[in-house]
Amino acid sequence: MQLAELNVGRLRGTTDDPIVAEFMENLDRINGLGKRMPGFVWMMEGAAGAGNTEAKIDGDPRYVPNLTVWETAAQLETFVFKTLHAKFMERRAEWFEALETMHFVMWWVPDGHKPTLAEALAKLAQLQSNGETPAAFGWDYLRANPQPPA
């Protein structure tokens, strides 16, 4: 089993708005770093090649989904919290609105599975409705249960 994750943000402006320019200018850099990390398996990408700022959620072009798959929880955690990615994550309020609902979910997938955005959004809805379960969870659950269920 491998670990899938979806993180959804809503930009404070459209992708060509100067308010999000620094984020957009560094998107390829941060995604490229992730792709070179040990344990990286797959990333949903758009036509531009690094990330998917073209995907529309609820018809809103300001939503930016990030959907990836990793070999292990520890490898994802290293990328998220112990690389340059963490510096940009600390600055997310500059570029992203604060969302009122949960916007991040993880779940285990069979090796080689590439989840669709629809599948990932269903997992997010499951987490929002049911809280953390083995089928859809956040960091607290994952840290307490770092291995996929047997």
Could you state, in order of their start, the residue ranges of all structural domains in the chain? 2-144
CATH architecture of 2-144: 2-Layer Sandwich (3.30)
Helix, strand, coil percent content, the chain, rounded in steps of 5:
40, 25, 35
Full-model pTM: 0.90
- 98-131: per-residue pLDDT in tens? 888 879 999 999 999 999 999 999 999 999 999 9
Contacts of 5 (CB under 8 A, 6+ apart): 66, 67, 68, 69, 70, 76, 104, 105, 106
Cα-trace Rg, the chain: 15
pLDDT in tens, 10-24: 999 998 899 999 999
